[in-house]
Amino acid sequence: MDRPMLIDPYGRPLKVDAKTMGSEIAVPSTGARRPATFDSVVTGLEPVRLARILDAAVHDDASEFFALAEEIEERDLHYGSVLQTRKDAVSNLEPQIEAVDDTAEEEEIAKFCRSFVERAEFADMLDDALDALGKGVSVVEMVWETGKRWVPREFEWRDQRFFAFDKETRRELLLKSGDERLPLPWGKYVTHAGRVKTGLPIRAGLARFAAWAFIMKSYTLKDWAGFCEVFGQPLRVGRYERNATAEEKRALLRTVLSIAGDAGGIIPKGMEIEFIKSEAGRGEAVFGKFADYLDKQVSKRVLGQTMTTDDGASLAQAKVHDEVRDDIRRADVRRLQATIQRDVILPAVQLNFGVRQSYPQFKLFIEEPEDIKALSDATAPLVRAGLRVSQRQVRARLGYDEPEEDDEVLVPPGTAPEPRAARNTRHGPGCPCCRASNADRGDPGAAEIEAIGEEELDAWKAQIAPIADPIERLLRETNSYEEFLAQLDDVLDEVDLDEVTKRLATAMAKARIRGMADG
């Protein structure tokens, strides 16, 4: 199958080599100076060297920064946890492909894209792409299956140290190959930028901000460990008599030194050992609080809040902070969608269907949680006031399905379940099929009962007007849903139920008399 003619952004023909697309390029290789392992940069790290690493990442080579970012994620348990939380908030979303329109051709293209987007390897690739949140940039190499259809078959994460930014703009990623810097082939790599701030990609990784907190926390924990080593156990003081011999003093000293490990010992009568209370608890007040402070700053930078990670406050406060975190997630989703659209969907469609005016859209579906209590609290008074609400729409909002014919349905406490036959035929007052059903069941008073209902329905507008008019007026006068709810209680005081109550009582009396006449 011949590949469609492709052009680059400048209108020049674009050559795509099947061998290149179907093989791996940026693999660890000694000859290309891409080792699989690297030496640690965190061991012995001090502020001066950290400043040099961060400066070199911006102006020269970012290899040490990428190594630093990976080690911080491994060694700092708090930073690693909140960073993984932010990644999972995006990578666990369901990927979807939206067709351009409903024509057969566009549906075929969208179906083709879904064939590889729904695979497990694609979900793993999203995790790898989100490595850019910490390091500023991530690279995933695609290995294509070059058969009848060219499909991305494998997605291989590549170590960022295999790449370098161009010297002019510091934005374009180039592949290291010995002393050379090679452009990345079109359609071969997924290059995602975290962009947690505006500016150069290398300055936008969360690890750049976490590095200073990491080194200060490292010094804090080291000092705290030394403090606990000195003050972690009570001070042991041995007391001896003035006339004690040298041998007795040495025996007392050996007992004092060994009592911590042996938890016991013997001393001559007349000597004593005193345990002076340890001051180790003071370490929590100094070192512990500073470490907690640093963790909270990291949580704010990574998640935008501390309530769900550090403070554990009330549910209401946590919900407010979760909204902030959701804003961050939406921004991450938007950027990742754009990357996948550019580096995966467009090449896949162009290689198989040619250059097009529009392309299927890659989306990560964010399910909006419904506040069921707020919905119920708002709906109930409106229904009682006479507002007609679709059961189908309410069920959809609450996630309930329409009951099947043989389903048992829930009823209020103390209420007998409605017979299935009645439930299946009751559609509303005056419904022709309901009247026919009543007649079929041999009800001699069915026609008279239906006539009473029809008579009341003829005057429904006059009956409902005192109820509906004040609510409709409020709807016209208010400008928002919140304003409407705030004034609803006052308006309900204006509702006049006298007319509808009188008509309902009359209809019920007629129906009761009709039933008594039938015996």
Walk across the sheet containing 150-158 and list its strands. 150-158, 137-146, 189-193
Q: Where are the domains of the chain?
A: 18-209+320-365, 233-277, 444-519
pLDDT of residue 72: 96
pLDDT of residue 51: 95
> Which CA distances in Å does 124 have to 105, 119, 154, 477?
29, 9, 10, 53
The mean pLDDT value for 331-354 works out to 95
**Is 155 in contact with 121 (CB distance < 8 Å)?**
yes
Query: 456 or 190: whose pLDDT is higher?
Result: 190
pLDDT of residue 47: 94
Tokens (6 digits) for 506: 């009359």
pLDDT of residue 79: 95
Bridge-based pairing state of the strands 235-239 and 272-276: antiparallel
pLDDT of residue 399: 74
DSSP per position, 64-115:
HHHHHHHHHHHH-HHHHHHHHHHHHHHHTSEEEEE-SSSSHHHHHHHHHHHH
pLDDT of residue 214: 95
Calpha distance 50→26 (Å, rounded): 28
- The 10s digit of each residue's pLDDT in 345-371 is 999 999 999 889 999 999 999 877 667
pLDDT of residue 393: 82
The mean pLDDT value for 404-430 works out to 62
Cβ within 8 Å of residue 213, ≥6 positions away: 79, 294, 295, 297, 298
The mean pLDDT value for 368-393 works out to 79
**Is 161 in contact with 32 (CB distance < 8 Å)?**
no
Residue 39 phi, psi dihedral angles, 5° rounding: -75, 150
Tokens (6 digits) for 17: 């080599």
**Is 84 in contact with 206 (CB distance < 8 Å)?**
no
Cβ within 8 Å of residue 304, ≥6 positions away: 321, 324, 325, 327, 328
Helix (H, G, I), strand (E, B) or coil at 29: strand
- Other beta carbons within 10 Å of 443: 15
- The 10s digit of each residue's pLDDT in 180-200 is 899 999 999 999 998 888 999
Highest mean pLDDT out of 184-193, 310-319, 361-370, 451-460: 184-193
> Which CA distances in Å does 44 have to 41, 50, 56?
8, 10, 18
Cβ within 8 Å of residue 68, ≥6 positions away: 41, 42, 45, 50, 53, 207, 211
Environment class of 391 (CB within 10 Å of its CB; exposed 0-12, middle 13-18, buried 19+): exposed
Nearest in space to 186 (alpha carbons), one of 4, 23, 344, 335: 344
Calpha distance 33→498 (Å, rounded): 90
Residue 156: beta bridge partners? 141
Helix (H, G, I), strand (E, B) or coil at 449: helix
**Is 271 in contact with 244 (CB distance < 8 Å)?**
yes
Query: 63 or 16: whose pLDDT is higher?
Result: 63
Helix (H) or strand (E) holding 193: strand 189-193
DSSP per position, 152-185:
EEEEEEE-GGGEEE-TTTS-SEEEEETTEEEEPP
pLDDT of residue 228: 73
**Is 66 in contact with 176 (CB distance < 8 Å)?**
no
Bridge-based pairing state of the strands 180-183 and 94-98: unpaired
